[in-house]
Amino acid sequence: MDFLLSVIGFAVDLGNVWRFPYICYQNGGGAFLIPYTLMAVFGGVPLFYMELALGQFHRTGAIPIWKRICPIFKGIGFAICIIGLYVSFYYNTIIAWALYYFYSSLSGSLPWASCDNPWNTPHCTNYFGGSNVTWTNFSRSPAEEFYTRKVLELQKSGGLYNIGGIHWELLLCLFLIFTIVYFSLWKGVKTSGKVVWVTATLPYVVLLILLVRGATLPGAWRGVVFYLRPDWGKLLSTAVWVDAAAQIFFSLGPGFGVLLALASYNHFHNNCYRDALVTSTVNCLTSFLSGFVIFTVLGYMAEMRDVEVEDVARDKGPSLLFITYPEAIANMVGSTFFAIIFFLMMITLGLDSTFGGLEAVITAVMDEYPQVLAGRRELFVLGLITVCFLGSLSTLTYGGAYVVKLLEEFGAGCSILAVVLLETIAVSWFYGIQRFSHDVKAMLGFTPGLFWKVCWVAVSPALLAFIVVSSLLDQPPLTLFDYQYPEWSILVGYLIGASSFICIPFYMVYKLVWTPGSLKQKQNLVLLGSILSALVLTIILMAVCVYKPVRRR
């Protein structure tokens, strides 16, 4: 149960609450469930199962595991660790925002409920303040101004050219978050496995409370209808299928090394096949449930404003959780209680995902260098947490939200999908699907069926390649609120993404140079390394080459 809750806690994160509902209604409502289910069955779940089986059989982390599978691909392990660091630089800052909201909720009246605060501007307009409210293009809600002017203080920043100083209140919140993370991870899964009994289960209690409350609000049915109303014509759009595949892969989380790390602590004969099916099902159902929680409230807001649901459902990403939903909570009966439990849910959702992400890095590095780090886990974890905290400082500045967006887009975007693609190819094609099936049989007592083998060898790699190419060829302009990211920042983003992925061809070259033997003995490795290095460089060059034409369009 420790393991199962840890995996569920990692897979079910903030993205299930904010990303899936938005993606669903944007891509055809109920019709979107068809491509989402197909991508889960043929792509996400097979890779989830593969990683759990790999970690449980080889019982080691993301770096040293490649010594036993295909040594030339060891760079994948280093790439995974770098991506894990990038994610920790911005993801914990989002949790710190939630902690700031949680603290702000501990008052008689919520600070984002009115326009009578020092940070408000003349443009602040309270929708719920009366019937004669006039809304213009310059109007801003109290919740939006609290988020942008009080929590983030974006008005003190000039964009990425001048991100300003550090917001000390957010610094304290982040320090507290990392303190919790450290004392949850310092003893390993013995401590984190107990903490997730709270952090992985509490969100479901809160979701059910919020669902019941949302369903009793006037206009809730409008939101549900908008959420699920099928638009069958959307299924003819390639973008819908790309969004479905990307959502399921990022939601289940293969490729981050977390599943490898957590499964490596399992008993050898643990039924990881059952765990994969249970966890994947819970993850997808949680996303679906979250949509009802969000859209019942959006329907209520539309009813109160006397507008269409689509007019209040424009926010996406963190804005949905920090502007739209808090605004609705502020105008409910018992607003303080619902605000406290909502942001407590967000904190716990974020924490157990952070536990998994950092445990993947810890396990990978400690298993790779046992002669140096054996018996020094507490010190190593302290050093890693310190690096993550220092790396997060730029996200705590007045322009930190711009940095968060940049890292979110490029730190773990196409790079993690490409890593999963190469990981799948390495296991299925080079390690061998038959050998991998024998490993599974040794653990579980039965061989994976034909469906799983076909998915591992052909279907899942094809879906991943489809997503990577589509993502590179269709990069929309990067914006946050009214801020348009400058071109140089996009190039910086590509460099961030390439900095992790480049470990793979670099390690291939290193392995080819230092492997003992004559050139003739190494010719197969040389050929393999040349082909895959060329593939990697082609993808990177493609990304850079398509950048300017896409931006101009």
Binding residues for Na(+): 9, 11-12, 16, 251, 283, 349, 352-353
What dihedral do alpha carbons 15, 19, 24, 25 form, nearest 10°? 150
Residue 196 C-beta-side C-alpha neighbours within 13 Å: 28
Contact between residue 438 and residue 444 where contact means Cβ atoms under 8 Å apart: no
Q: Nearest CA to 465 among 284, 256, 249?
A: 249
Distance (Å, whole) CA 72 – CA 61: 16
Cα–Cα distance for residue pair 413/371, rounded to 1 Å: 34
Q: What angle do CA 207, 302, 295 make, to 5 degrees?
A: 25
Full DSSP string of 7-45: HHHHHS-HHHHHHHHHHHHHTTGGGGHHHHHHHIIIIIH
Query: Binding site membership: which residues?
Result: 9, 11-12, 16, 251, 283, 349, 352-353
Contact (CB, 8 A) for 52 and 272 = yes
**Among residues 68, 43, 23, 53, which one has the least CA distance to residue 420?**
43
Rounded-to-integer distance, Cα 180 and Cα 165, Å? 25
161 exposed, middle or buried (CB, 10 Å; 0-12, 13-18, 19+)?
exposed
CB burial of 169-186 (b: ≥16 within 10 Å; e: otherwise) equals bbbebbeebbebbbebbb
Apex 532 CA angle, 527 and 537, nearest 5: 125
Residue 136's φ and ψ, nearest 5 degrees, are -120, 180
Q: What is the dihedral of CA 433, 438, 439, 443, to 10 degrees?
A: 140
- Take residue 274 and report the two structure tokens written for it: 């059952």
> What's the one-letter identity of residue 298?
L
Q: Where are the alpha helices (DSSP H) in 392-522?
A: 400-410, 414-425, 433-444, 450-454, 460-473, 487-501, 503-514
Neighbours of 358 (CB within 10 A): 27
Q: How far apart are CA 349 and CA 352, in angstroms?
A: 6
Angle of the 202-215 helix axis to the 335-368 helix axis, nearest 10: 150
CA distance 86 to 3: 25
The residues facing 169 across adjacent strands are none
- Using CA atoms, how far residue 539 sits from 241, 532, 548, in Å, is 21, 11, 16
Q: Find the length of the chain.
A: 553
